[in-house]
Structure 1
Amino acid sequence: MTTTASQRLEEALVRVDDETGQGKIVFTKVYRDEARRAAEAADHRARVGTPLSALDGAIVSIKDLLDVAGETTTAGSIISRDGPPAKVDADVVRRLRAAGAVIIGKTNMTEYAFSGIGLNPHYGTPGNAHDRSRIPGGSSSGAGVSVASGMAEIAIGSDTGGSIRIPAALNGLVGLKPTQNRVSREGAFALSYSLDTLGPLAPNVAVVAATDAILAGEVNDALAQRAVAGLRVGIPRGMLFAETEDVVASAFENAMSRLSTAGARVSDEPLDDLLRQSTRVQSPVSFAAVEASHVHKDTLDTRAKDFDPMVRKRLARGRELDAPGYVGMLRERTHLLPVMDLRLADFDVLALPTIPFVAPRISDVLDEDNFVRTNALILRNPAVFNFYDLPALSLPIPHDGALPVGLMLVGQRGRDRDLLAVGAAVEALFSQV
């Protein structure tokens, strides 16, 4: 049985280097020597009984929008390869190192994190861990595949409109989007100042919870014990359930039936009036497009041909909104957040499919019209909860199909640990035969 960090790291590196695998596409950089030194140090601490944290010796990949001191952060683009090296580690990277985590490498991503599909014409597109002909989900594409393929035990991704939860759902993992102010974004390449979050993907809730505590700088990482019986679960039926594939709908309904049988109080709740406000406020352009067009204002014209065309078009749309319009969007969102908080006060979680379909084939989304349509639908369910700054967790739903289906549980704003405790209870129920 493999027990040491060094042994687990070498096994992960074998998978990364496997010529029949996807390591060269999943990772944009691999830290072999540094990781081996970190693993040896973790093993020494384990032998003498002085581990630094629950993550001491864990093999972790980080998304290639996080700064590492001395390196240029490319954020999935060839444009940023010409940028200056980072002076210091991103805050989350620093916290991982201080916890004893073994950082194995940086993972591939959609250019500038601006798509939920996961395609990258510059560095290649990782195939889904369950079927390489299918999309990995984005924008944290390499993050999800790195864990689901055994090249890392934990991945750190970013989530602006679903970019942690989408690859988690499509690759059969657990992924957490935290309340925005929970985890520092210092040293992370921005897409949207208003919506960006950083969080973990891992095989189970316990590891996600332990990683969340480290990223948030919490000393006590213990989760409260929750039971499924008595949970108040609201299902926001309506717009977020439209165009749901039969396999996803069936898996979701079976999951809700299991929760109800186990004693949860499951009820349909009309929330479309508030959910539609996210689209209304962000029309004709989204926060991500407006804010990202500011981030890239110096290169949108001077290096337009070097962008992924799909990304460039979305960035250019951000220029359509003037300053008064943007300020109006901010004010409306600020007004709506407490309104949603009040509506959710009587529920432990909302429950819905993370995305309404299983991973489509990469070949089916290369056409621009199909890409735009699929991207809008893949972002629909997750993105509304970024708008409302609610913590959201994607869990795999056990079902008979070959491709994973994700269940999204949405908690109350700022109560991330309560959400994780509920997620652990639901996960335990699903694990029962």
Structure 2
Amino acid sequence: MVLFKQRPHQVSTWEISEMAIEALWSNKLRSGLTMLGVIIGISSTIGISSIGQGVQKSTADSIRGLGTDVLQVMAGAAQSGGISQGQGSLTTLNWEDAKAIAEQAPGATVVSAFLQRNTQVVYGEKNTSTTVYGTDLSYSQARNTFPKSGRFFDDEELKSAASVAVIAPTVQKNLFPANVDPIGTKIRIQGEIYEVIGVMEVKGSQGPQDRDDAVYIPLTSMSARIVGNNSLMGISINGIYIKGRDESQLEIVKFQVANILRLRHNIDTPEDDDFKITNQADILKTFDTIFGLLTTLIIAIAGISLVVGGIGIANIMLVSVVERTREIGIRKALGATDRAILTQFLTESVIISVVGGSIGIILGIGITFVSATAFKFAFLVSGNAIAIGFGLSTAVGLLAGVIPAKNAAKLDPIVALRSD
């Protein structure tokens, strides 16, 4: 008697994919819930990295717009109950210091002194809390910000402590109706009446600080009418902006400025400095480094969702193997090979991850667009995040499906057919 051994039925890749899609479609709710972890992980990764890059670019552009060839000298920090009140809270700098730097520091091309206070500004029945800057004539050049309409105050107005003001766009928006031209109107600052002579151009935000939320008045007027404090050496100021010829010369300028101030303030060692000099370019580098680290950390946290998603896929696929034991037995009895069963379950797992990853990518881009529109920062989509996210979703599917697929492939067809 001749025994014929049944030849295993060779199933094509297309047939396996078709069966995998059919199996997933017949359990739509379960498949959708399984995808959820991957969707959350991928969308979080892309959304957070893209939003981070957009905010970082907008802030960096804002800092560059104000000039990276600028030094900022701040007065010392006052102490109250052992707590520092912040740089500029002591009156250790005065206007004469700024004039001395302008005359004696060869590397300084523009020098501007400023005095600032947070206060209420009133127009009619409206009021807004903003920062009022008392400045000199060089402020616009030092900060690379100029009036878009009207003008800045002139030398005569500075010398006479004139009651004139230049407002920034946010103040205009908060105080004036859209159809009202603020030029020529009167505003009140701490009870003092000032005539608006100009509106500054839009500069945007620098980190959490809105550069467009400000009012500029002559330094002399600020000192006499708003602050009311003069030092023995002249008008006290909070700080000085110093512009160098270019960014590469800032360290030389910083050295020159430090020596001038130490001589004027009778300071022998750097440890006794009653001022602090900050390099704007260094601020930008520090910001980029910190923001990059924070973004990486948040992405790593978001990546935990992918691990959770992978565990979810593995659990559902293991349950699926148990539920479909009889189906697997029938297919094996009809000639399906262990390889075909293994491939089908792996394919199901990968399809769940790839589809979930694709939805997550779309959702992540959507979240980025909505956030950029709502909070007004640059809309950037991280190509690397998309590539990494899609690659991770595929890898998660493969890894999560290996054990369930192997379990399915190893089932004995006779035992499988006897199962309920």
TM-score of the aligned structures, taking structure 1 as reference length: 0.19
Which structure shows the bigger proportion of residues in helix conformation? 2
Which structure shows the bigger proportion of residues in strand conformation? 2
**Pair member with larger Rg:** 2
Higher relative contact order (CA 8 A, sep 6+): 2
TM-score of the aligned structures, taking structure 2 as reference length: 0.19
